[in-house]
Structure 1
Amino acid sequence: MQADRGPRIVITYCTQCQWLLRAGWMAQELLSTFGPDLGEVALVPGTGGVFSITCGDTLIWERKRDGGFPDAARLKQLVRDVIDPERSLGHSDRKPQD
């Protein structure tokens, strides 16, 4: 990856748990939303129930720490907060109703 291409997102998923499709779907969501602003979205196979999403040295989501998996809107908000905090995500920025 060239340094000027943008941040690298890494999605590490458990092959034993068969979370490749979930990881691929999340990668697709991020690429659809942030496409040219990202340098790369990498899928990294792991084991032991791992499911984490990082951007550089920043841990964005970790399944055990955060209690499961993020929905697409929440994931986009978290990634946006790291790579471009001023960016509007339109309908994905709506707050859930109490």
Structure 2
Amino acid sequence: MTDQTQPQCFPAEADKTINLPRITIHYCTQCKWMLRAAYFAQELLSTFSTSLGEVSLVPTTGGVFTVRVYTRLDEEEGGGLRETVLWDRKTNGGFPEVKALKALVRNIVDPARDLGHVDRALKKSESSGAATSAGPQDASGSKEEQAGGQEGQTTCEDCR
């Protein structure tokens, strides 16, 4: 995870109108990852409900799939916003499992929260040595993603 104390995507005056904690899911429109991004948003909102200030989907290009959380810094730290990258497809290799993403969000938003069956499944997979980060597919993605979505569609260079 990467922390930055001055996120680039928020002007200083917008700081007052952002509902925190804020989750942003940046997804590549050329790769047709909107449904995946919306599914992750739905799962996070269903699990964390009013513990989250907002979840936003940010369309982009270039093979990007990044999940970030924004929280407020303590007054001792300057009182601004902290940006934490929870998941980056290029850095982490592929997409997260939903339970792994929920655990990452929980660790920042409400560390004392019990995720019930999600926590038990994560502990079980860790004890058996199974990877929880890449999810049901590896970094190379599914055949559809390797082909760039639908036939005849132009894909971005980073997605191939």
Q: TM-score range by the shorter chain?
A: over 0.9
Alpha-carbon distance in 2 for matches of 1:90, 1:6? 24
Q: Deviations over 1:23-64 (max 9, x none)?
A: 000000000000111110000001000000000100000001
User: Unaligned 5+ residue runs, structure 2?
Assistant: 1-15, 71-82, 129-160
Equivalents in 2 of 1:20, 1:52: separation in Å? 12
Over aligned residues, Cα RMSD in angstroms? 1.4
Alignment of 1:57-72 (within 5 A): 57-72=83-98
Partner of residue 6 from structure 1, selected from 16, 20, 23: 20
Q: State yes or no: 1:86 paired with 2:112.
A: yes
Aligned partner of residue 27 in structure 1, secondary structure: helix
Give the AA of the match of 2:112: E
Question: What is the aligned partner in structure 1 of residue 31 from structure 2?
Answer: 17
Question: Given the two structures, how large is their TM-score scaled by the length of structure 1?
Answer: 0.93
Q: Which residue, out of 51, 58, 62, partners 1:44?
A: 58
The 2-side partners of 1:34 and 1:2 are apart by 21
**Structure number having the greater helix percentage:** 1
Q: Which has the larger radius of gyration?
A: 2
Count of residues in correspondence between the two structures: 97
Give runs of ≥4 in structure 1 deviating > 3 Å.
none
Amino acid across the alignment from 2:21: P
Distance in structure 2 (CA, Å) of the matches to 1:76 and 1:55: 12
- TM-score, structure 2 length as denominator? 0.58
Q: What is the percentage of aligned positions where both structures have the same residue?
A: 57
Shift of 1:2: 4.8
Q: Distance in 1 between matches of 2:102 and 2:17?
A: 23
